[in-house]
Structure 1
């Protein structure tokens, strides 16, 4: 698989694997034997097809997804050298500790403690990349900078980034953080178009994005890798729904036509649509089906013309461009 530069001296596969669902239950129940076996199968399948970026978060399945992945590495420690490990922190559950509300927390102590927890569950000495998961309304950028310095100096985190952040939020952090912010993971798919659509309808009367934030342009200008979570729109275009929505139906039909013409799956076309964007969008695929993961990896070889890209774009946005 072709690669993207993510940071100085660090290249990753153009498609990443999202490890959120390696464990399914978001409770205190133990990881099952089936989950461990499937995690092993998925990691090996991803690596065999050139996928080297593995995306985690401390909260996924309340830490059990990282634990399941760590069990794979503990069984096959040689795999670590073949991958880029990325995790996220900053979201706290309503019961952490008991009696507290759900919240975001970019405090120094929470960031550092979250990384320590992730490293222990994964069974590794360092993360290649740490992302701040969702913007904290009470963020003190100086405190984030101190946490990043602590983690970088200790060798526990090599690179840093953000998730779900706007350009101004990134700028605020950049004013204080000494390390480059190498990635911004945001939701983008054919059924979630705001970050692409805003650049098309800017200065157009009657559109919500008439005053565009310019997230994709900002990331291109500042060498921030755009990562796309939920790039397959939770399966809504892959035959898992009845397509009662005419926009979804038209988009799904076109996906199937293009997939047949190019001898791949509709999922591969969806990912190829993201890969075609010049921002260098890196889809993070979270399937727990190894066969489907192989089909997704095939997107790396799919070439969409400008006309095919816009045909999908106009179908998904429910009408022609302005």
Structure 2
């Protein structure tokens, strides 16, 4: 074995150990067995190593499930043929098909993270396994937003419908059973690392991951002398979408030439580097008035979700801020 192959295997073992929670030597044993059986991808560049970690993690998860159950695994629940939008008429904006990347951009505070979470939650309640990866929202806040969006109350200040005991007995089991996976991406976490964590979590639930929300592209983009390298991140997300047959929805904040000018629309010229070229569709969430909010002003709730890729396709929405959800206007 060459020293180069040894180094690659050590790197794979390090990532595998972090995912499975096993010791480094046990992870390295698994890697060496796979190498001896010629089951590792070739070449073992960064992409090959990531694929190797995903393969070995899935095998380990399946082996664990087979050892801990005496019956055959339950079949995956019947689900819609593809991922769906929460609002009628929105399917023309972007298909959310397997292997595609859809980008969602907006000016600051327009509500793109909330809208992306609405998409993830809606699909999960339809039985489609969805992963919401966020470097923008804390895990606690994300849980509160999910409760508000699904059940219509603010967990921070309101009693749940029917009281807390009834809520715990009925609503929480429903939500826990829904295949909505969450991953709080820490600083330095790569997009493949986040996806691997989601794939392992989905396998443990006997689910196939089909939708991945990435909030946002900036969190996974490295700093360079020219700023954040969003082009490389977008290219990576496109590759991952195709390799794992996923519908990917990635968010990004954008700024117009004059952020204080409400009449300047977001266009392709305002997109992060690489977003237009590596996306199948690009959507813009417009919520006029947020840039002029002052104390005592009426909170603007009217919004439009429109396609930059297909001009003329748009859906009028209304934000219910207390419920963390967008509904049809």
Q: Looking at both structures, which has the greater relative contact order when contacts are Cα pairs under 8 Å and sequence separation is at least 6?
A: 2
What TM-score do the two structures reach when normalised by structure 1? 0.32
What TM-score do the two structures reach when normalised by structure 2? 0.32
